[in-house]
Structure 1
C-alpha cells in the first residue's frame, strides 16, 4: 500500500464520536462549491433478448456479452475496462446496465462521449443477441434480482418488509441521471431550489414508463411511482432552510433508516428501525466511522442527491438517442445564474407536484404549461457547441412530446 493509499484508508476508518463530527463530515463531502464547470450523465437501461424481450435474463449471458467490461458485481474480482470515451459500466440488481460518463466541460462534449460509449455497448450486446430497453421500467417482466451481494440482499429484505415498491425499484427501473456542479456558495441555494422545483415538470415532460410486467399501469411514470411508494425517509426530497441546503441534507441523512450495515461475514441486515442518528447515539455495538457515514449516504435515493455535485435522479430512461433531450434541457436551464433564476420562477407554481407528475404527466394542464415554458426557455439557451443536427433533435423531441400531450387532451 502506498503512503497515499494508507492515508486514505486511515481517513475513512476514523471514528466519528458525536453528532457534530457526523454533521461536519456530511457537509464536507456533499456540497463542494465552486463555479459550475463540469457536467455528467448516468444512463441506465433494462436489458432484453432481442428475439424474445419477455424472456428472463441470466447472469452468464450478460457476463459473456460484456466481456472485459464486466463489473465485479457480476464477475467477482474482475477489474472492468473503461469504455472508449472514458465512461464506466455497472450492473444494477435486476441486470440493468448503466453507463456513468466521464465528467465533461460542455453538453456537446458530453454528447460526443456518451454517444461513443453507447455505440460500443450496443455492439457488445448486439453480438450476444441482446438489446437495451427503451423505457424507464421493464415493460415485459416482473422484478427479479440477478445480483447476489450482501448489500442487495439486505436492501431487498428491508424493502420487502414495507411493500412491493422497493423490489420493483431495484430490479425493474431504469433512470437517466444528470450530474451538475453545485455552484458557488452564493449560487448554491438557488441552484438547489431550482433543480428540485424543475423535477415535477421535467418528470412529466420526459415520462416514459407507463407499462410494467406486461400491463398498462395507467401511470405516466411507473418508475417514479415505485420510488415514491418506498420509505419517504429514503426517496422523498429533503426539506430544510432555503438558504442552507446542507442543513436540510444533514437532517435528512440522520433521520434516514439504515438499509444495510457492512460486516466481514454474514448478512448485512441492520437492526429494525435504527437510523443514522441512532447509530451516532450508540444503538449499534460497532463504532461509527467516516466510511460508515459515506456508505449510508449511498443508500439514500431522493430525487436530487448531493454528492459533492448535484445528482438529478428524477428522469426516466429515454429511447435510443433521445437521452440527450432531457440532458440538454436541464443543463441549459441551469447554465448560468440568470437562466437558473428564470427557470425557478417558471417551475415554482408546480414545485412539489411529484404525485401528479408521475400519475398524469403532461395531461395535467399546470404541468404542461410549466413544461412548455421551460422548454422555450431552454431552447434559447442550448449549448452553442452542439451540432446543428443534435440541437434540432433536442427541439423536435421535446416539441413532439408537448404536441402529443395537447392532442391527447383535445381527443379526450
Structure 2
C-alpha cells in the first residue's frame, strides 16, 4: 500500500468532501434531548432509554427506522435521527416525520419525551453516558481546555440540514460572492453560478449567523439564563478552534478544507487493543503524516479524523449546516424549508445574497467566533441588521416555495414562523426567557402525565 503523504492526503480530502453534480437532494439530522415526561428536571433512567430503543428492534449494525432514517446515540444520552437524502424538500420532510413519529411512540411508551432545545435547560450532572473509546478520548481532549467540550457533548442538541455541494460550472472563477458583478454567472451570481459549489459554500457561511439568530433556542443552562439566546453557539465558539472554526473562505473551498483538515489537532487515535484512544497533546494530522513511515496514519485514519471535525459548515460530499439549535416539536421543519428553498432556487439565492450583503464585513471572519456570529448568539433577532437580513431570506424562500405545490404547507409554516419571530424581533429563545421560572421550559415540550 502506498504510504499516505501530505499531498496525497490533501488531494483525497479535496476530491471526496465536495462531490460535484446538479444539486437537489435534501436531508436532515435531528438531535433530541431525552426527558422523563413526568419529571423533566431529572435525568431519565438509562435503562428506560435502552428499552425504548430496543422496542424498535433495529439491527445494531444498520439501525434504520422504517422509512430509512438512521438512529444513533450521542455521548450525553441524546438521540439523533438522520433522514435519508430525498430528491426534494417535501420528500425529506415526509420521510423524517414518519420515522420521527415511530421514534416518539417508542419513547412515549417508556414515559419519555424527545425534547427540542439547543441546550439542556435543567440543572443536571454532566456525564458521558456512552463509555466508548471515541467519546472517552473526546472527553479527555476537550477537557484540556475547560468545560466547554463536555457541555457540548452532554447537554446540546441541534437541527442540521444537509444539501448537495453543487456543480463545478465555473471552475476557474471566484465564487466567494462578495457582492456585485453581472448576471452571466462568471462571478457566481448567475442562475447556473448559484448552483456551483463555490457559491453554495459562500452562501452557507454568509447565512450562518442568520440561522443562529432566527432559530436560537438555548437561553438556559443549569436551570438559569446565560445571557445568550443561543448558548449552544456560545459553547461551540469556546472550543478547540482547529476543529470548530470555519476554514478560510477565500479561494477554492476544496483547497481550504483540505488544508484545514491536515492542520486540525488529532482528537483520538484508534487502537485495536484495550489502550485508550487518547491522542498526544498538540499533534496535528499534518504532523502525524511527518512521522517515520511505520508511525504514519493510514487512509482509514484520515477518514476517521474527518468525522471529528465540527465547523459550522462541514463538507461530507454534501454540505452539512451545523449551526442551528434543536427546535421544539416539529419546528425543525422551518429551518429545513428555509435553507433548502434558498439553495434550490437560483433567484432565491440571489435574493438571499442581497439581503445578507449588510453582514458581509461581519461574516468575513470565520464562524463561530466572528462578530456576526457573536451578535447572533447573544441577541438573536433583537439585532436589527440580522433581523432585516433574516426577513429578506424568509421572503426569498417563501417566493421560491410558491412554485412548488407539494410544499404549500411548508411555505405556510415558514410564513407563520416569520410572522411570529423575525418580524417581531424575536426567536424561540425569547419564549423560554419570558416564561415564569416555575414554568420553564415551555410546557409544550413535556407531555402531560
TM-score by length of 2: 0.83
Counterparts of residues 305-316 of structure 1 (less than 5 Å): 305-316=314-325
Asked if residue 111 in structure 1 is aligned to residue 111 in structure 2, the reply is: no
Asked if residue 85 in structure 1 is aligned to residue 67 in structure 2, the reply is: yes
Asked if residue 361 in structure 1 is aligned to residue 369 in structure 2, the reply is: no
From 409, 417, 423, the counterpart of 1:389: 409
Counterparts of residues 159-178 of structure 1 (less than 5 Å): 159-178=142-161
Distance in structure 2 (CA, Å) of the matches to 1:164 and 1:222 = 14
Asked if residue 256 in structure 1 is aligned to residue 264 in structure 2, the reply is: yes
2:216 and 2:229 in contact (8 A); partners too: yes
RMSD: 2.0
1:270-318 CA distances to partner (integer Å, 9 max, x unpaired)? 1110001101111796332111111111100000000000011011111
Asked if residue 138 in structure 1 is aligned to residue 123 in structure 2, the reply is: no
Instruction: Report the CA distance shift for 1:311/1:387 in structure 2 as closer, same or farther (over 3 A).
Output: closer
Aligned residues: 390
Q: Find runs of 4+ consecutive structure 1 residues off by over 4 angstroms.
A: 68-72
Counterparts of residues 281-292 of structure 1 (less than 5 Å): 281-282=290-291, 286-292=295-301
1:224-275 CA distances to partner (integer Å, 9 max, x unpaired)? 1111110111111111433x10111011111100000100121001111000
Asked if residue 323 in structure 1 is aligned to residue 332 in structure 2, the reply is: yes
Instruction: Report the CA distance shift for 1:258/1:406 in structure 2 as closer, same or farther (over 3 A).
Output: closer
Asked if residue 380 in structure 1 is aligned to residue 399 in structure 2, the reply is: yes
Could you say what secondary structure the match of 1:22 adopts?
helix
Instruction: Report the CA distance shift for 1:280/1:217 in structure 2 as closer, same or farther (over 3 A).
Output: same
From 277, 285, 295, the counterpart of 2:286: 277
1:190 and 1:341 in contact (8 A); partners too: no
Task: Identify the residue that residue 189 of structure 1 maps to in structure 2.
Answer: 198
1:137 and 1:223 in contact (8 A); partners too: yes
1:106 deviates by 0.9
1:393 deviates by 2.0
Distance in structure 2 (CA, Å) of the matches to 1:71 and 1:168 = 29
Could you say what secondary structure the match of 1:135 adopts?
coil
Instruction: Report the CA distance shift for 1:70/1:231 in structure 2 as closer, same or farther (over 3 A).
Output: farther
Greater alpha carbon shift after TM alignment, 110-119 vs 329-338 = 329-338
Instruction: Report the CA distance shift for 1:68/1:28 in structure 2 as closer, same or farther (over 3 A).
Output: farther
Distance in structure 2 (CA, Å) of the matches to 1:300 and 1:406 = 31
Distance in structure 1 (CA, Å) of the matches to 2:146 and 2:345 = 42
From 389, 410, 415, the counterpart of 1:370: 389
Instruction: Report the CA distance shift for 1:162/1:150 in structure 2 as closer, same or farther (over 3 A).
Output: same
Q: Structure 2 regions of 5+ residues with no counterpart?
A: 170-195, 364-371, 435-449
